[in-house]
Amino acid sequence: MNITQKLSIILIVIATIVGCAKENIIPKNPNESLAGRRIRYTVQVVSGDNFSKSTTFLDSVSVTLVMNDSVYTKLTDSSGVTTFNNLASGNISVKISKNNYTTAVYTVDLSLNNDSASNYDTDNLRNSSSTVCIFPNTGLGTAQITGKAFADLDLTTPEKEYVPFGTTISAVILPHSIENFINHTGGGHILGLHYENASVWSEIQTNGDFSLNVPAASVGLNIILNAEDFVYQQIISPGISQRKIYTFAQDTLIVYPNFTKIYDIFYN
């Protein structure tokens, strides 16, 4: 056997030893044993107006899940619950809707990152759940914001005048307060929840009055109140006027169910 053949045999032996060593040192992927396992996702819907007091579970609420190209819709039962079985891991879009309530739309992360076999039940399904509030937007459970809107339209008089008829007043739930009304368990978390049909508006009347029925919560719900800008020929002296743009700095109010908040608006 020549030197070249001996070196070849030595290299093969070394490569085999190194390969075996690597196989023993590198640990197995902890998620490999989860192959084929799926997720059971449960949604519970409650009414925000009674949140944290005597919780009201909402039945017959439509819950729609969108995952990839698949769409699933179910109704909640008397406990406000509906369950979706055999879902794949990943992000799921969810829409929760019921007549006379705000519509909740969100994305939930149901990925398998940092998962383990201990999170699975005897059916080989990982249990994950979300509790989401929706709010009445009409009738009982809502709040009323009412008041008058003023602006200094005439500098020759000491009193402020009523804002012109038809100027729009609007209200919407403060986005950052929404996180207080959701909960999630089971390894994922809720992303980007917002409420549709939660924005309300009204026009100012000839006597300056306005009134808005808005969603409310027993623990208090933060509502952003806004009023549109308007242009008016402000009287600065007898017979003399100038064009002026009137603005209102939006404000945040806390409202409670079946409660009237009196709030007057003053334009700059």
What per-residue confidence (pLDDT) applies to 198? 83
Q: How far is CA 3 from the centre of its chain?
A: 74
Structure tokens at 98: 């019921």
Per-residue pLDDT, averaged over 40-55, amounts to 79
CATH topology agreement for domains 37-134 and 143-175+198-266: yes
Average pLDDT score, the chain: 82
Query: Which CATH architecture group holds 143-175+198-266?
Result: Sandwich (2.60)
What per-residue confidence (pLDDT) applies to 122? 54
Most confident range, picked from 76-85, 116-125, 193-202? 76-85
Residues with Cβ within 8 Å of 216's Cβ and at least 6 positions away in sequence, in order, are 48, 49, 135, 136, 141, 142, 143, 255, 256, 257, 258, 259
Per-residue pLDDT, averaged over 30-44, amounts to 65
pLDDT digits (tens, 9 = 90+) for 98-132: 999 999 999 998 876 555 555 555 566 788 899 99
Range 37-134 classified under CATH 2.60.40.1120: yes
Torsions phi, psi of 152, nearest 5? -85, 85
What per-residue confidence (pLDDT) applies to 33? 37
Indicate the pLDDT class of residue 77, thresholds 50, 70 and 90. very high
Residues 217 and 49: beta-carbon distance below 8 Å = yes
Nearest alpha carbon to residue 49 among 40, 41, 58: 58
The answer, yes or no, to whether residue 26 has pLDDT greater than 50, is: no
Neighbours of 88 (CB within 10 A): 14
Q: pTM value? A: 0.74
What per-residue confidence (pLDDT) applies to 20? 35
- Percent above pLDDT 90 for the chain: 56
What per-residue confidence (pLDDT) applies to 9? 37
Structure tokens at 45: 């819907």
> Which tops the pLDDT comparison, 90 or 163?
163
Indicate the pLDDT class of residue 25, thresholds 50, 70 and 90. very low
Nearest alpha carbon to residue 112 among 178, 2, 35: 35
pLDDT digits (tens, 9 = 90+) for 158-190: 999 999 999 999 999 988 778 778 888 876 788
Residues with Cβ within 8 Å of 193's Cβ and at least 6 positions away in sequence, in order, are 104, 105, 106, 132, 178, 179, 182
Sign of torsion over alpha carbons 81, 86, 91, 97: negative
Most confident range, picked from 9-23, 39-53, 248-262? 248-262
The answer, yes or no, to whether residue 145 has pLDDT greater than 50, is: yes
Residues 57 and 44: beta-carbon distance below 8 Å = yes
The position carrying tokens 């409650």 is 46
Query: Taking the domains of the chain in order of start, what are their residue ranges?
Result: 37-134, 143-175+198-266
